[in-house]
């Protein structure tokens, strides 16, 4: 059997499709450029690793169920001046996930809370972390279903194995007491174990009203922000900015 056949067979057995693709052309380059054996082996393996990271990343991005894909590069820091590019870029290095810390974005509609949450989530997924995105209402609904099926603890444990959950839009709809209790359990189950990114159009002082129970809210917010990066976004809606430009353009041409 030729060694090319060996490589074809062995890379298949080891499930290394990218190594299989590149082995023979890298061997040619190695001969031409006089690479040593270790150098050649490192090149083949790093092709395989890069390809796995790229594919795994896109699978994790899909699995996270982001409503759109947003990135840090699309974010205009000249429009949103209440956060610094440096701070947000630092968050994208994802130390907060390694430390099981949280990120909170507060601010009125259209100020970029969801955009930044998604761009952090996409970055995390591409860097190898599992991520799951949903609105606060959806999370509570899912936990409610688990509870009715008698498997709330299992569900919280399963979610605990996902290093980053994104909870969008806390406060758009008030919670009934059952929903509030499920949300509290979600926050406390992750405390110092795994990360949350939470965004809300209401300040913490208004959360008592959303959740109904001021004392329980205080305990929950305490856990949420104990190890967290809280960013308060200000200003006009970015959505309206585009609308205003459209309106201006229409009035100019008529």
Ligand X SMILES: Nc1ncnc2c1ncn2[C@@H]1O[C@H](COP(=O)(O)OP(=O)(O)O)[C@@H](O)[C@H]1O
Measured CA to CA, the distance from residue 184 to residue 211 in angstroms comes to 10
Q: Pick the closer one to Mg ion by CB: 52 or 202.
A: 202
Residue 115 makes contact with ligand X by CB under 6 A:
yes
Q: Which residue has the tokens 């009934």?
A: 176
Query: Which of the choices Mg ion, ligand X, none does residue 18 contact, using the CB cut-off of 5 to 8 A by kind?
Result: none
CB of 176 to ligand X, least distance (A): 24
Residue 114 makes contact with Mg ion by CB under 5 A:
yes
CB of 196 to ligand X, least distance (A): 16
State the DSSP code for 173: S
Q: Pick the closer one to ligand X by CB: 23 or 116.
A: 116
> What is the contact mask toward ligand X in residues 75 to 94, using x (rule: CB under 6 A)?
xx--xx--------------
Burial letters 120-148, b for 16+ CB under 10 A, else e: bbbbbbbeebebbbbbbbebbebbeebbe
Site for ligand X in 27-86 (CB under 6 A): 70, 74-76, 79-80
CB of 115 to ligand X, least distance (A): 3
Q: Dihedral, CA atoms, 180, 181, 186, 190, nearest 10 degrees? A: 120
In sequence order, the 6+-apart residues with CB closer than 8 A to the CB of 16 are: 48
Residue 164's beta-bridge partner residues?
Answer: 131, 195
Q: Pick the closer one to Mg ion by CB: 19 or 106.
A: 106
Angle between helices 152-160 and 177-190 (to 10 degrees): 40
Task: Select from 206, 179, 201 the least CA-distant residue to 117.
Answer: 201
Residue 121 makes contact with ligand X by CB under 6 A:
no
Structure-token pair, residue 232? 């308060």
Q: Pick the closer one to Mg ion by CB: 57 or 112.
A: 112
Residue 112 makes contact with ligand X by CB under 6 A:
yes
Measured CA to CA, the distance from residue 171 to residue 109 in angstroms comes to 11
CB of 209 to ligand X, least distance (A): 19
Query: Which of the choices ligand X, Mg ion, none does residue 239 contact, using the CB cut-off of 5 to 8 A by kind?
Result: ligand X
Residue 236 makes contact with ligand X by CB under 6 A:
no
Query: Which of the choices Mg ion, ligand X, none does residue 112 contact, using the CB cut-off of 5 to 8 A by kind?
Result: ligand X
Residue 172 makes contact with ligand X by CB under 6 A:
no
Q: What is the DSSP string of 178-209?
A: HHHHHHHHHHHHHTTTSEEEEEESS-HHHHHH
CB of 137 to ligand X, least distance (A): 14
Q: Which residues bind Mg ion (CB under 5 A)?
A: 113-114
Q: Which residues bind ligand X (CB under 6 A)?
A: 70, 74-76, 79-80, 107, 109-115, 238-239
């Amino acid at each position: 059997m030729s060694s090319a056949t060996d490589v074809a067979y062995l890379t298949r057995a080891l499930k290394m499709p990218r190594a299989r693709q590149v082995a023979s052309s890298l061997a040619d380059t190695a001969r031409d450029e006089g690479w040593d054996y270790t150098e050649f082996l490192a090149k083949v393996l790093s092709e395989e690793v890069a390809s796995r990271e790229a594919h795994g990343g896109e699978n994790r991005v899909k699995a996270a169920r982001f409503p759109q894909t947003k990135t840090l590069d699309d974010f205009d820091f000249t429009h949103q001046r209440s956060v610094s590019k440096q701070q947000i870029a630092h968050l994208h290095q994802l130390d907060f996930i390694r430390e099981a810390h949280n990120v909170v974005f507060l601010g009125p509609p259209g100020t970029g809370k969801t955009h930044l949450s998604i761009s952090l989530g996409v970055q995390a997924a591409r860097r190898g972390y599992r991520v799951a995105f949903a609105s606060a209402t959806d999370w509570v609904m899912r936990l409610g279903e688990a509870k009715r099926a008698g498997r709330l603890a299992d569900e919280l444990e399963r979610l605990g194995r996902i290093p980053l959950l994104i909870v969008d839009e806390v406060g758009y709809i008030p919670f009934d007491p059952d929903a509030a209790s499920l949300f509290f359990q979600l926050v406390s189950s992750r405390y110092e174990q795994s990360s949350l990114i939470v965004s809300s159009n209401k300040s913490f002082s208004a959360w008592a009203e959303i959740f109904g129970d001021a004392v329980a809210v205080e305990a929950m917010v305490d856990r949420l922000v104990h190890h967290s990066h809280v960013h308060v976004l200000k200003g006009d809606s970015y959505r309206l900015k585009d609308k205003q430009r459209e309106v201006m353009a229409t009035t100019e041409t008529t």
